[in-house]
Structure 1
């Protein structure tokens, strides 16, 4: 196992959960792909705006803060369509996979 890789990492848990529901498969709708791409760009900009490098740790910190905000607002995903928060979470998972932060 790679040094610094934790099975209990929130990125790994979330990616595993989304993967088990098939949500990380390549979306068939081009519009959905574009929305996830826009969220990924927003996440990257948010992390890097303070001169922090995008890494497993910085993405995990972003995820933790994002989930805290969702909890504070009482958000839960029960919609049939992909809401803003779900798209954001999909983008985080995709970024984690593409950059090799999770397997």
Structure 2
């Protein structure tokens, strides 16, 4: 018989990835993607940034996965903060969102696309 351990397990890479993407989605993704659905200019910018993120990951020979997107987003935030960028503390006015926010929003859009199940052919 196995006795349950009282130890708290260390977070896994999957937990870290999920945590990063959930935090990003809560911080910018929910409001930003809702705004993009009503603002064609923002939607176009998000699409362009998403294409650039895909290209960057492809150029580095990294697949488009939740883990690579989480790492990419952390890298963008880290470099931006090193250059003085601060995450917004007030609601974002999306028509005038800065480059960093639109790039992070693109990561959210790509992450959401990963959650879409791939259609499977019918079983005969």
Q: TM-score range by the shorter chain?
A: 0.7 to 0.9
Unaligned runs of 5+ in 1: none
**Which residue of the partner structure matches residue 76 of structure 1?**
86
Name the CA shift for 1:24/1:5 in 2 (closer, same or farther; >3 Å): farther
Residues 1-103 of structure 1 mapped to structure 2, 5 A cutoff: 5-6=14-15, 9-19=19-29, 22-25=31-34, 27=36, 28-76=38-86, 80=93, 81-100=96-115
Unaligned runs of 5+ in 2: 1-12, 117-124
SS of 1:9's partner is helix
Deviations 1:10-41 (A, max 9, x none): 11111022255x22215212111111000000
CA RMSD of aligned residues (A): 2.3
**Greater RCO (Cα-Cα under 8 Å, separation 6 or more):** 1
Q: CA deviation at 1:94?
A: 1.1
